[in-house]
Amino acid sequence: MKKYGFLLAGLLASLVFTAPAHAVIFGDITLAGSGGGQGITPPSPFEFRVFYVGGVEIFHESFSVGDAGSVVSITPADSFFSTAIAPLTNGIDETLRMEVTSGTGGGDAEGPESSYFGGSLFSLNGIDFAGQTITSLDLVIDTLRHESPGSDPNNDGNWTEFEYGARFVVNGEVPGGVVPEPATLLLFGSGLAGAGLRLKKRTR
């Protein structure tokens, strides 16, 4: 009967603790806006940057209006990957900046990592992703729009309205399998106990 007890215990442990890891979004930053009167004829490309103030530049990409829906990724296969994720995993509350420009127009978002990622389910130290497994960094371009002349208060055709929307996304991996709720464990454990009793009866 002892060997059956060890077998059942091992089965329960494997069900709870050995499920494969799965991918999740650790955190993201959204930059969106619109404007006009930029004097762009023809419309200029949208330049996106994601960088640490005074430090590592993670993304610097140029997109045209037709590139809406694009995703640029940095993965472990890229030689720059370890450099790109270093500020996200060093436990230091650095200033992260995301910006877009098109001609003389654009917008930006800037703040410490803790303001973007602190309190995240996967931010163990409340600052960044120290101790976590990052699998990729994505620059996701959701919206790009230029309308020229769009609106022309000076009747010179020199007016462009623009709209943009993009996200900097941190993807990661966490151990698989959600630990069952106590009631589920109790029910499952009772079933195993019952199976053990039946096995014990049969061996007498």
Phi, psi of 134 (to 5 degrees): -90, 130
Average pLDDT of the residues in 133-144: 96
**59 lies in some domain:** yes
Share of the chain above pLDDT 70, in %: 66
Residue keyed to tokens 């020199």: 158
**179 lies in some domain:** no
**5 lies in some domain:** no
Choose the weakest-confidence range: 22-36, 58-72, 152-166, 180-194.
180-194
* Number of domains observed in the structure of the chain: 1
Contact indicator for 75, 95 with CB cutoff of 8 Å:
no
By C-alpha distance, which of 92, 93, 106, 118 is closest to 29?
118
**203 lies in some domain:** no
Nearest-5° Cα angle at 143, 96 to 66:
115
pLDDT in tens, 140-165: 999 998 876 555 556 665 566 788 99
Quote the domain boundaries for residue 105: 25-174
**170 lies in some domain:** yes
How far, in Å, are 30, 51, 61, 110 from residue 144 at the CA level?
Answer: 14, 21, 13, 21
Q: Is the pTM of this model over 0.95?
A: no
**3 lies in some domain:** no
**2 lies in some domain:** no
**182 lies in some domain:** no
Tokens representing 65? 């209006």
Burial (0-12, 13-18, 19+ Cβ within 10 Å), 51? middle
Tokens representing 160? 């462009």
